[in-house]
Amino acid sequence: MAASRLSDAQIATKIASLPDWKYLAPAEDHDGQLDAQFVFRTFVEAFAFMTAIAIEAEKRNHHPEWSNVYNRVSVTLTTHDSGGVTELDIDLAARAGELAKSFR
Amino acid sequence: MAASRLSDAQIATKIASLPDWKYLAPAEDHDGQLDAQFVFRTFVEAFAFMTAIAIEAEKRNHHPEWSNVYNRVSVTLTTHDSGGVTELDIDLAARAGELAKSFR
Amino acid sequence: MAASRLSDAQIATKIASLPDWKYLAPAEDHDGQLDAQFVFRTFVEAFAFMTAIAIEAEKRNHHPEWSNVYNRVSVTLTTHDSGGVTELDIDLAARAGELAKSFR
Amino acid sequence: MAASRLSDAQIATKIASLPDWKYLAPAEDHDGQLDAQFVFRTFVEAFAFMTAIAIEAEKRNHHPEWSNVYNRVSVTLTTHDSGGVTELDIDLAARAGELAKSFR
């Protein structure tokens, strides 16, 4: 069973406490999604962060769309089966923010 | 000192033995670059491959621009300081192909 | 609730199809456990394998006792809460064998 | 050419600024070595740290002997070719301490 898609108002409330993340409302080319860009000291810290996120993602069976260039990691979270942002995204976004805070 | 940019003919010869990779000639929005997309059984193999590449990249002080969605890893290699594709890119491309072959 | 400890006979049957693993019966200084040593081409493949196992372990909330020296990875699996080897160990052992086979 | 083995006095001076590490003088069963045990919040942070160290180790072509159990990582550094502790060990020890400080 897919997680329930959150409303724009619910998302706004929840990401208020997640300073790294912004919400992109649905548009022609994508469903609603959460976006963040994390910047680290070097590539080494950036990839260590990615490893932590990879573990957390597989544990939740919920994976990011993400990219990396040197010390920057861009992450997009959405729940395709639900057509937008769900609690799964909020939860992984919160954990990513927590980890990034440590690793920077 | 930056590595020397290879000519289109040199690149064509070199990537002939690298089946995963294609060369994109310079265009308005990018220098010449090598592109590959690797597909694995699951996210776990995909991320293990990324870890191997991360180690190889840092060792060479030459890092990819790359993205991942579930079991797919897209990699772009170019040498910004040289304005195109150099031996650094060919070498990392060859190692990536070798690793991907094992991990699939 | 802890997983059920398997009997020596059950373990023998199950690891018959897991060629990398051997069973150590309980002794004064340890409960029953599964042991394997994996050897890879280089450190890079060894650590990529460890990353895959790390993801699989956290997903199961069941973690190995393991060590690494260059291209060798030694893994011990046991379920402390159950006082010996359980299905959790067999399952992670099987996945490790499968991954090692790919990465070598 | 192997790096030069440091004297006990040199090692003592150098690790004075590396609070995580202690020096074990040569004994019957081992050369001189540096030892540390790092403890993290969870397995996820512990393995992210290991990934960072793996990258740094391969970059230096100088690898640790190390083990992990859940949130604990034990690391031993020595330079076998030189029969003891060298600048290679001091350098990797310093980087490990720096990374552990971030990741805890």
Predicted confidence (pLDDT) per residue in C5-41, tens digit = 999 999 999 999 999 999 999 999 999 999 999 999 9
Pairing outcome for strands C33-39 and A22-24? unpaired
Q: B69 Cβ partners below 8 Å, 6+ apart?
A: A63, A65
pLDDT in tens, chain A (104 residues): 678 999 999 999 999 999 999 999 999 999 999 999 999 999 999 999 999 999 999 999 999 999 999 999 999 999 999 999 999 999 999 999 999 999 88
Contact of D23 with D85, CB cutoff 8 Å? yes
Q: Which chains touch D (3 or more CB pairs under 8 A)?
A: A, B, C
A18 vs chain B: nearest CA distance in angstroms?
A: 23
Q: C86 Cβ partners below 8 Å, 6+ apart?
A: C2, C3, C4, C5, C6, C79
> What global pTM score does this model have?
0.97
Residue D56: list chain B partners with CB under 8 A: 58
Residue-level pLDDT at D3: 86
Cβ of A22 under 8 Å from any chain C Cβ? no
Per-residue pLDDT band for B1 (boundaries 50, 70, 90) equals: low
Residue found by looking up tokens 């491309």 in the block: B93
Q: Rounded mean pLDDT of chain B?
A: 96
Q: How many residues does chain B have?
A: 104
Cβ of C92 under 8 Å from any chain D Cβ? no
A73 vs chain B: nearest CA distance in angstroms?
A: 10
Pairing outcome for strands C72-77 and D72-77? unpaired
ipTM: 0.95
Residue A84, both tokens: 């937008």
Predicted confidence (pLDDT) per residue in B18-37, tens digit = 999 999 999 999 999 999 99
Residue C63: list chain D partners with CB under 8 A: 43, 69-70
CB contact under 8 A, B69 and A54: no
Across the interface, of B45, B47, B55, the residue whose CB is closest to C44 is: B55
| CA distances (Å), origin A17, targets A12, A13, A32, A58, D4 | 9, 8, 19, 24, 52
B84: amino acid identity, one letter: G
Q: Which chains touch C (3 or more CB pairs under 8 A)?
A: A, B, D
Side-chain-side CA neighbours of A19 within 13 Å: the count stands at: 3
